[in-house]
Amino acid sequence: MSPRSPYKPYDQIPPGTPGSRPRSPAPGSFRPFHSDGDESNPTEVLYRWIKGDNSPRRSRPSSSYSTPAVDHAYRVKEVNRNDNRLPIEQALVHKEFHIEALQGQVRKLVSENAAECGVLNNRIKILQVEVAALRLRLHRTEDNLHKTDQTRAELEEEVKELRQTVAEQSHALTCHEEVKKEALAAQKSGLEEYFQRIKTDDQRAATQRLEEREQKLLAELSEMHSSELDSLRTSYANELQHIQTAHAAAVHEFLARLEGKLAASEKEKEANHFVAYLGEKINRARSKSITKERGENHILVRCREIINAGRRRSKSSTSTELVKSQDSSRQNSVDCTCSHRATI
């Protein structure tokens, strides 16, 4: 897109300015208006009258009006000359108008844009100062960059040297660590062998001491066991004799009680025989009278109750006697153990 022209076109020039004269048509755009039979347009009538042979010419001699051939030739020449001169004059007039309009626009623009030009000049001066400062700063930064490049190169060389020294020291350190590991492994193996030797010696000495101590303890235990066995034998013999005497007394007492129980059982058998006899007798008498049945049953029940009461008494007496005999035997055994412990 082309920039906007600072000059105004002719149709926008305000009236009263030097370049505000009416514009003439452009040379290429001038076209005479021809319309046959239209007499209302005066310019058309005037143009046809000028083109025709009716209008006199000041430059034409009077002798040219006499003969028709000369008149025709002169007319053709005049028409050609007018046709050639009219576009040139129109172009000159148009250019003059254009120049005057441009001059007016330039003067107007100069008068209108004087303040803007001052502001722009001040801005340009400020920008020039800033550009100078930036150039100075750029020059300084370039110098600093050059110096930093030099220092960077020096530092890179130092870094290379340091890396080389670090690599050498790391290699030396790895070699030293390997040698140290080998020495530690050899020392460890020697210490393990020495420790194993000491351990075997200690185990041998400990086993010898344990065997000696075991023999001593076995001898002491055998002596203690022999003495304890002798004392236990004597105490057990005394206790056995005491138990045997107590057992003989308990057996004698039990036999006496058993004889009493046998006598009671014989009495019970006699009572049972008597009850059976009464039952047989009642069964015989049952056929004689039915009214006597209740009394007989009552008698039979009463007899059975008496017999059962006798049995219960005999059982309770036997159980108490057995408990007493067991308690006496337990008391005798306790007395024996206490005496044995006292002797020990």
Domain boundaries, the chain: 10-112, 216-343
- What's phi and psi for 22, nearest 5 deg? -65, 135
How far is residue 205's CA from residue 197's CA, in Å, rounded to a whole number?
Answer: 12
pTM passes above 0.85: no
pLDDT tens track for 51-110? 555 555 555 555 555 555 656 666 676 666 666 656 667 777 777 888 888 888 878 877
199-223 exposure pattern, b = at least 16 Cβ within 10 A, e = fewer = eeeeeeeeeeeeeeeeeeeeeeeee
In sequence order, which residues have a C-beta less than 8 Å from that of residue 14 and are 6 or more positions away?
A: 20
User: 77-86: long-range contacts at Cβ-Cβ below 8 A with a sequence spacing of 24 or more?
Assistant: 79/51, 82/50, 86/30
Contact predicate 310/263, CB 8 Å: no
Burial class (CB in 10 A: 0-12, 13-18, 19+), 4: exposed
How far is residue 83's CA from residue 178's CA, in Å, rounded to a whole number?
Answer: 118
pLDDT tens track for 36-46? 444 556 666 66
Identify the CA nearest to 321 among candidates 258, 272, 278: 258
How many CB atoms are closer than 10 A to CB 101?
Answer: 22
How far is residue 324's CA from residue 318's CA, in Å, rounded to a whole number?
Answer: 10
Q: Please tell me the predicted confidence (pLDDT) of residue 160.
A: 92
In sequence order, which residues have a C-beta less than 8 Å from that of residue 318 and are 6 or more positions away?
A: 257, 261
Q: What is the token pair recorded at 187? A: 């020392």
Stretches where the chain sits below pLDDT 50 are: 1-3, 5-11, 13-38, 292, 333-334, 336-344
Q: Please tell me the predicted confidence (pLDDT) of residue 218.
A: 86
